[in-house]
Structure 1
């Protein structure tokens, strides 16, 4: 297996991160399993060398000894002498998930770590399902946070929620055009819009390209959010702000990433699949799609000059914080 197995590990794959597990622990577990698989591979037969050993002389009545040429294995490369063949392996992580969130987490092995940078530079959208709970507010916008307030929610209807979501999506779409620095009157902009390539090619606040309600059964509701440049904390705060817009309060009980760029839940390996052969198969299956998608998204023809100047705060123009547009510190 050895170096041949390592050669098939260069690339990207997705793992499913369960809630309660830190992304660092997931990465370290994957790295440990890969090293274990590489070191468990069949090693080549040890080299032989000739040694002259003392042996009794045949046919001699006296106890005479003579030197006999004998082939013996060389122990310098034996596992008990040299130790494991692979002791470290670099595994990179793409857009991270915090400990409470779950879903698709993209990892890169070997040369795949540079592809993670390409994914970051492509500013691809990600999909989440976000579950909210009406009627209370906490200090960290999470269901298990310190309770701050309890409110009634009998007046909240599906129609009211849908109207709020439409306002959010409309304001963020305007911001998306502003941060993309694209002249919508040009043919180039039209072609990019048809291909879904209009996106900010620089840092920006969280931008929501699509949001809708999948399920509404008060006090619970489930949203599907398509966004970029987000953090999971911002998504939880968005639920809180939706509650305020509905004249009540709301907390977030679940954040689950269902797509990261061109990786979906169907591509994500479960914990029982974090082994060498499953990861090799996942990398090989994803390689053609990764190459095609990165080529398409990294050369859209955008003018990538600095959009807002460095001296202007990102949230100085665009939708208000009540619509979830605040400056973010990272992807």
Structure 2
């Protein structure tokens, strides 16, 4: 039985709960798929031709002869051969660390090639990041070791919005530098309008957009659109924001709400991790995945025509090292 017969080639998204490693999620999905695949009715065992000795009555009494018969192949018996499917090639997209939750993209079968194509497309991801003013920890999370406390009554939403504007502006300028695009061309302008500018090579974490969703001190929540990020980097952003506001802050939650074309609406819950739902999710996303990959290929063609005359120049010029997104505000 081939995976193609059950429509199990493609990519889909599941919801990773907090407190669970991404590898455990991947293994659980594979286990559920193997269970359902092996529950299908097995093909009939092969019939093998055998010549069996037998005694027949002859002229001189009983004689030994060979009788042709067909017997089921014992090697095909479930107790001998075991399950038909023992392993599936399930690949993973961008990781989520154990404390984080949200959209987690997986690929099965030939979908692993699509995962690589989506990775090469450098699609942005969106997170909701919750923070808490007033304390700092050694790992920037609310579960870390407390190292400092501070007041936060002086912080206003306007001050927070101002800091977010600085972050977004600095990262946007860094994105333009790493894209190595000649900004004086019409093609570059059109790419910028469409939001298709991407770094040409591996870059530090880049924030393409950030805004405040909630402000109710000491609690606040941000929406962050980014590239090449880690969840720990997002926690550090919360820490740095607290310092810039003359206070301290810890991150209480990192939740990925979008990974490229996949959103929370596409993510299958744990109770939905079965063959039927995963197959439907693959079919549902197939056209969108193909469209996004084609857009990426088209962008690469346009990028070649809009590249800066200085080939390979992706370094920031002297005096602009403050734009590097290594410390959020002092980028």
SS at match of 2:76: coil
Deviation at 1:323, TM superposition (A): 2.2
Structure 2: distance between partners of 1:307 and 1:122? 21
Instruction: State the TM-score, normalized to the length of structure 2.
Output: 0.88
Q: For residue 231 of structure 1, what is the aligned residue in structure 2? A: 230
SS at match of 2:107: strand
After superposition, the C-alpha distances for 1:273-306 in whole angstroms (9 at most, x for unaligned) are 1112211111111111100011102331113763
Matched, 1:147 2:152: no
Q: For residue 318 of structure 1, what is the aligned residue in structure 2? A: 323
Q: For residue 119 of structure 1, what is the aligned residue in structure 2? A: 118
Deviation at 1:124, TM superposition (A): 0.9
Q: For residue 168 of structure 2, what is the aligned residue in structure 1? A: 169
Which range is displaced more, 21-30 or 178-187?
178-187
SS at match of 2:74: coil
Deviation at 1:73, TM superposition (A): 2.7
Which range is displaced more, 194-203 or 127-136?
194-203
Which range is displaced more, 267-276 or 49-58?
49-58
On the 8 A contact 2:166/2:329 being kept in 1, the answer is: no
On the 8 A contact 1:48/1:73 being kept in 2, the answer is: yes
Deviation at 1:187, TM superposition (A): 1.2
On the 8 A contact 2:128/2:223 being kept in 1, the answer is: yes
Q: For residue 194 of structure 1, what is the aligned residue in structure 2? A: 193
Deviation at 1:176, TM superposition (A): 1.1
On the 8 A contact 1:122/1:201 being kept in 2, the answer is: no
- What 5-or-longer segments of structure 1 have no aligned partner? 327-331
Matched, 1:261 2:267: no
On the 8 A contact 2:204/2:326 being kept in 1, the answer is: no
Q: For residue 87 of structure 1, what is the aligned residue in structure 2? A: 86
Deviation at 1:4, TM superposition (A): 5.0
SS at match of 1:255: strand
Deviation at 1:320, TM superposition (A): 6.2
- Paired positions, count: 320
On the 8 A contact 1:6/1:38 being kept in 2, the answer is: no
SS at match of 1:104: strand
SS at match of 2:287: helix
Matched, 1:76 2:65: no
Instruction: State the TM-score, normalized to the length of structure 1.
Output: 0.88
SS at match of 1:269: coil
Structure 2: distance between partners of 1:195 and 1:3? 41
Deviation at 1:76, TM superposition (A): 2.4
On the 8 A contact 2:177/2:314 being kept in 1, the answer is: no
SS at match of 1:141: coil
Q: For residue 308 of structure 1, what is the aligned residue in structure 2? A: 314
- What 5-or-longer segments of structure 2 have no aligned partner? none
Q: For residue 248 of structure 1, what is the aligned residue in structure 2? A: 247
SS at match of 1:268: coil
Deviation at 1:72, TM superposition (A): 3.9
Off by >6 Å, runs of 4+ in structure 1: 52-58, 62-69
On the 8 A contact 2:125/2:260 being kept in 1, the answer is: yes
On the 8 A contact 1:131/1:220 being kept in 2, the answer is: yes
Structure 2: distance between partners of 1:52 and 1:210? 77
On the 8 A contact 1:234/1:324 being kept in 2, the answer is: no
Deviation at 1:54, TM superposition (A): 8.4
Structure 2: distance between partners of 1:296 and 1:67? 69
Structure 2: distance between partners of 1:106 and 1:188? 32
RMSD, aligned α-carbons: 2.6
